[in-house]
Amino acid sequence: WGVETARKFDRAAVEDALKELDSGKYGAVLRAKGILAAADGSWIHFDYVPGEINVRTGGADITGKLCVIGSKLDEQGIAALFGV
């Protein structure tokens, strides 16, 4: 599942969403990654694998991007989780 978004995110909200992926209610998530515009003007880069979350500030991109890889993914649930 993947999406591009111009929405601005809060780092804590991204971390909470990534932790929620560990719950199993969004399918068998093997990996998630993305670059998202932050509300403060910076860019949030993240990588997720089950049990490990890495969120950091990085270089800008043209638009925000989210990608979630796995099986039996609840695509609508993931979209709602990230608010996109």
55-64 pLDDT, tens digit per residue, is: 999 998 889 9
* Confidence (pLDDT) at 30: 96
7 close to 66: Cβ distance less than 8 angstroms: no
Q: What is the pLDDT of residues 24-37, one digit of tens each?
A: 999 999 999 999 99
Q: Could you tell me what percent of the chain has a pLDDT over 70?
A: 100
- Alpha-helical runs (H) found in the chain: 11-21, 75-82
- SS3 state at 12: helix
Question: Cα separation of 31 and 65, whole Å?
Answer: 14
